[in-house]
Structure 1
Amino acid sequence: MRTFRRVRLHTAVATALALTGAAPAAATAPRDGGHCGGYETVRVPGAAHQRSACLGDLTTSTLSGTPYTDMADQAGLTAKDTGRPSGVPGVQIDGYFPDTSHFNTAHGWNHDAQFVIRLPEQWNGGLVVTGAPGTRKQYATDTAISDQALAQGYAYAATDKGNSGSDFYRDGSRPGDAVAEWNLRTTQLTRAAKRAVAQRYGHVPRRTYMTGISNGGYLTRWQLENHPELYDGGVDWEGALWTADGPNLLTSLPTAVARTLGSAGDEDMESVGFAPGSAFLWPYHEKAYWGVTQKIYRAEFDPGYDAGCPGRSAGSAAEQILAPCPSDAAYDYASRPASVHRAVARVALTGRIGRPLITLHGDLDALLPKASDSDVYARMVDGSGRGQRHRYYTVEGGTHVDGLYDTYPDRLRPILPCYRSAFRALTAWVERGTRPPADRTIGRPTSGDVVDSCALA
C-alpha cells in the first residue's frame, strides 16, 4: 500500500499540472569522429555543476533502473504498452545551474535548476527542448519524448523548471515567482544546450524545437510567444492556460473541489468547462488531482486567501497532500484583489506566437478541460493575428494522462501517438513548407494499433 501511495502521489501531484519527426538532414557524427571521444570536454555554459557519461544507449529501454533516468517520475504519463525505441549510443550530461532552492533531490544533489542533455552519436542536426510537466523533474518525459527524439537523431534537453514537488510554490519571495522561474530556466537551458551541441558536433543546431506536456505545453506556448528567436516551432500537448482575467486553473478547479466536497453538481462542472463525457473520470480526479492542484497553485498566486491551507507545506503524507482545502471550494478568482491578478499576469499567455505551433488536447481532459483551456488559447492566437502559424487538434477519447487508458481502454485513447504524428507534421511544415491538416478532431479508432498509431488526417 505504501508503494501504491507513493506511485499515486508521484502521478497525481506531478501531473497536476512524444515525439518523432523527419530528420532534417543526413546524420552527423561527433566532430572527434569516434564514439564518445572527447566527450569530457563538452561544457554546459553557466552550469554550476555537471557530470558527463558515455552510454551505449540513451533510451529508457536501457537506462531504466539506472541513475540516468527516473521511471517513477514518469508514472502515469504513458500507456503501459507504448513502444519504446532503443539502441541510441551517445553522451548524457546531468547537472544544475546556480539556484537557491533545494526541492530536487535527484543524484543526492538537493539542488534545483537540474537539467539533462543527451547527445546521440548519430545526430540529425536538430535539438528538442522541453520542461517537466506538472511538478515533476527533468526525467519525467524520457519515455514520452526523449526516447523517440533520440531515435530520430535529435539532441535532447530537459529542465526541472527550477522547482518541483507539491511545495514548489515556496520557491521565490513574491507570488508568481516559482512559475516565472519555469520560463527563465527553459530559456536558460535552450541557450546553453545550443552551445553544448555546437561543442560536440562542430556547429549549432540547424533546427530547434520546443515541446512539452501540460505545464511543459504552457512553457512551449510561452517560449514561442516571448523567445521565438530561439526556436523554429513547437508542439504543445494540452498546455496549461494562464490569463490574468481568466480562464485559468483557478477559475475551473474551485468548482471541482466543491464537487469533491458535495457542494457542486454536474451542471456546475459543465459550466466551467468540464466535458459531460468525462464524468466517469471524475471520481478518480476527486481523489488524485483536483484538491492538490487547486491548493498549491492558489498558494503560488494568492497565498493570502487562506494562509493556513496549505501554509508552508501541502503536507507530508499522501493523504494530506492530495486532500483539498475546504476553503478552496468557495474560491472566486474574479473577486480576488488586483495583486492576485497581477501575479498571474507576470506569467500570462497572449497568443502572440512567433513560430509555428501545433496544439493537441483531449476532449475528455478532466484536469485541464479543453473548453476553458486550449479552445480559449486557439481563439487568443487567432485574435492576435497569428492563426496562420497555429494548428489545433482535438483528440477524441484523450485525457490528461495516457496512463488512464490502461484502466479504460474501451473509452479512452492515448494522445502520445497523435503527438508523434503532430511532431512529424511540424517538422514537415518548418523544413519543407508542407502545411499540416486544418484544425480538426482526430476520431477515436475502434480497431488497429491505438497505442502507437495516429493519423492527423
Structure 2
Amino acid sequence: MSVPNSRPNSRPNSRRWRPLVALVPALLAVGLLPAAGAGAARPACEGQRLRVPGAERLVSHCLDDLTTTGTEPLGLTKREDFDKLQALNTVNPSHVPGIQLDGYFPDTSTTNTNNGWNHDSQFVIRLPEHWNGGLVVAGPPGTRRQYANDQIISDQVLAKGFAYAATDKGNTGPELYKDGDKPGDAIMEWHLRVAQLTVAAKQVAAKHYGKAPTRTYAAGLSAAGYLVRWQLEHFPQLYTGGIDWNGLLLTRDEPNLLTNLPPALRAYPRFAKGEPGAAEAMYAEGYPKGSEDLWQAHYYTLWDSLQRTIREELDPDYDGAAQGGTPLCHEGTGAGCDTDYDYASRPDSVHDAVERVSLTGRITRPLITIQGTYDVLLPITRTGDVYDRMVNDAGRGDQHRYYRIDNGTHTDGFYDIAPKIVRPMQPCFNAAFDDLVAWTTHGATPPPSHTVPMPTGNTTIGCTL
C-alpha cells in the first residue's frame, strides 16, 4: 500500500518492512529463548534441513571452507562487495568447514543484485562445524552488500569458532535514498534489518547446534560501526557486546556527516591548486596534518558520493526535484550543489530528520571502539572523539573502551597507496575483538582508553592495544 507523499522528491514506497517496527518487542523476546529440542545431537552437515525464521527465500551449501578462500571460487561471495577494504598482502585464516545459508527476508526494494535475485534484505549466515557457542552479526559499510565483511570480519571470527551472520541493511548502492517515504526511512530500515537477522541467526544456530548461542556480538566498519552503536543503544538485550571500527556519527547538531564533508569538498580543489590557506582550511575541519597523500583519492571516490547519498536521504528538498545532487560540483555553484551545503542553515525539519537517526551514547552493553587518527573520511576529532564524550556524558563510560589507532585510516585498502604513512587496522580489529570476548566472557577488563602508537617494524601482522 502506497503512502501519499506531497514532497517534490517523492520516493517509491518500499515500506513492507514497517511491520518489523511493531514486531520488534516480540522479536527481542523470541531471540532470548532457546530453540525447541535443545541438547539433541545434530549431524555434521544438515544445511537442507535448516530454516531461517521469516526468510522468504533460502539456499543452503555444505562447504569444506566457509572463509573467502573457499567461498570465492564457488561464487558464494562477491569480491566487488569487499574489494579494497583490506590491504592486499593481508594473510587471512582459511579451512573452516561448515554450512552457508544465503537468502532474503520479504522486502519490495530491489537494489541488491547478488545471487541474481534483484531483491533487498539479503543475508548470509555461516555455521562452522567446530562451534565455540558464539555468534557475530554485522552490516556492511557504506552502500555495500552482505558479503562486504567477508575478509575483514567473517574470515577472522569463523576461524575462532564463531558463527557469523550479515545483512545488506535492506537497501544498497548510491541510490539507497529511494527506499522510503520520508527522510531517514532507508537508514531506519538498516537498524531493523540488523535486529531481525540477529534474532533469526540465533534461532538457526540453536536449531543446528542444539543450544542457543551463549554470546552474541555486533561488529562493523564505518556505517556498520554506526549500526553497532545503535544496536547497543536500542536493542541491547540481543547482544553481549559490540565492536565499532571507524564508526560513522550522526547527531542532530554538529558534528555529523553532513557537517564534516562539505568543507573538504570546498577546500581540497584549492589545496590541489596550491592556493594559500587551503591546507589550513582542511586542518581546521579535522583533516590531520600528515594525511595529505590520502586526500585526492577520498575527494574523487568517497567524500562527494557519500555526501550526496546521505544528504539526499536526510535532506532531499535541498536540490529540489533532482535526486542525488550534482557530482563534484564546483564551490560557489550555489543552491543544489552539495559542495556548498550548509547544514546549520537548513530548516528544523531537516535537523529533525537527522535526529531521528542520531546516536545518543546511551549504550548498555560493553562496546570497544577503534578509530584511525588518519581517518580522512570521518575525521577522528569529529567522530570517534565525539562519540566517546557522548558515552561518558551519558554515564556509560564504564561500558566503553576507545582506542585511537595512530596512522590508521578509514579502510585498509588505502595502505596500498600510502604505505609510508598508513598502518593497516585489521590487526587492531582482531586484537580488540579478542579483548571484547575476554571482557564479556571472563571479566578480563581491557586496557583503559588511549592512543595506540605506531609500532616499529612490520605494521601488518600485529597490534597491541
- Normalising by structure 2, we get a TM-score of 0.87
**CA offsets, 1:137-184, max 9 Å, x none?**
000010000011111110000000000111111110111111111101
> Does 1:454 pair with 2:440?
no
Alpha-carbon distance between aligned partners in 1 of 2:416 and 2:461, rounded to the nearest angstrom: 14
Secondary structure of 2:74 counterpart: coil
1:85 to 88, 93, 109: 93
The SS at the match of 2:58 is: strand
Hey, what does 2:239 align to over in structure 1? Answer: 231
* Match of residue 290 from structure 1: 303
Asked if 2 retains the 8 angstrom alpha-carbon contact of 1:287 and 1:323, the reply is no
Among residues 184, 187, 201, which one is paired with 2:195 in the alignment? 187
CA contact (8 A) 2:220 2:227 kept: yes
Q: Name the SS for the 1:52 alignment partner.
A: strand
SS in 2 for 1:93: strand
User: For 1:277, what is the secondary structure of its paired residue?
Assistant: coil
Structure 1 outlier segments of 4+, above 4 Å: 29-33, 320-326
Cα distance in 1 for residues equivalent to 2:186 and 2:252:
16
Provide the C-alpha distance between the structure 2 equivalents of 1:260 and 1:289, rounded to a whole number of angstroms: 13
Amino acid at match of 1:398: G
**Cross-structure match for 1:272:** 285
1:322: Cα distance to partner?
7.0
Q: Indicate conservation of the 8 Å contact 1:393/1:441, yes or no.
A: yes
What residue is the counterpart of 1:48 in the other structure?
A: 56
The alignment covers a number of residue pairs equal to: 419
- Check whether the contact 2:268–2:295 (CA below 8 A) recurs between aligned residues: no
Deviation at 1:257, TM superposition (A): 1.1
Assess, with a 3 A threshold, how the Cα gap between structure 1 residues 272 and 412 changes in structure 2: closer, same or farther: same
Residue 20 of structure 1 corresponds to which residue in structure 2? none
The alpha-carbon deviation at position 32 of structure 1 amounts to 4.5
Q: Which runs of 5+ in 2 are unaligned?
A: 1-37, 272-276
Q: Distance in 1 between matches of 2:446 and 2:341?
A: 41
Give the letter for the 1:355 counterpart.
R
Kindly report which structure 2 residues correspond to 1:54-453, keeping only aligned pairs within 5 A, or say none: 54-262=62-270, 265-307=278-320, 311-312=322-323, 326=333, 327-448=337-458, 450-453=459-462
**Distance change (3 Å), C-alpha of 1:63 and 1:321:** farther
CA contact (8 A) 1:31 1:200 kept: no
* Deviation at residue 63 of structure 1 after TM alignment: 1.4
Name the aligned partner's letter for residue 286 of structure 1.
Answer: Y
Q: CA deviation at 1:268?
A: 2.2
Residues 110-154 of structure 1 show CA distances to partners (whole Å, capped at 9, x for unaligned) of 000000000011110000000001100000010000011111110
**Could you tell me how far apart the structure 2 residues matched to 1:117 and 1:103 are?**
20
What amino acid does structure 1 have at the position aligned with 2:63?
A: L
Offset, 1:412: 0.8
Residues 52 and 93 of structure 1 are in contact (CA less than 8 Å); yes or no, is this contact kept in structure 2? yes
1:215-265 CA distance string (max 9 Å, x none): 110000000000110001111001100001121110010101112443982
* Post-superposition offset of 1:398: 0.4
Tell me, yes or no, if the aligned pair for 1:48 and 1:96 is still in contact at 8 Å: yes
Structure 1 alignment gaps of length 5 or more? 1-28, 315-319
8 Å CA contact 1:57–1:87 kept in 2: the answer is yes
**Aligned equivalents of 1:375 and 1:301: distance in 2?**
24
* CA–CA distance in structure 2, aligned partners of residues 323 and 90 of structure 1: 49
What are the Cα deviations for residues 299-330 of structure 1, in whole angstroms up to 9, with x where unaligned?
1100111135xx3457xxxxx86778952222
Distance 1:106 1:424 in 2: 31
Q: Is the 8 A contact 1:292 1:324 kept in 2?
A: no
The one-letter amino acid paired with 1:145 is I
CA distance in 1, matches of 2:55, 2:328: 34
Q: Is the 8 A contact 2:216 2:238 kept in 1?
A: yes
Identity within the alignment, %: 52
User: Secondary structure at 1:127's aligned position in 2?
Assistant: strand
Aligned in 2, Cα 1:452/1:324: closer, same or farther, shift over 3 Å? farther
Question: Structure 1: which amino acid aligns with 2:364?
Answer: G
**Contact 2:294–2:376, Cα closer than 8 Å, also in 1:** yes
Contact 1:56 1:90 in 2 (8 A): yes
Matched letter for residue 396 of structure 1: D
How far does residue 30 in structure 1 lie from its aligned partner after superposition? Answer: 10
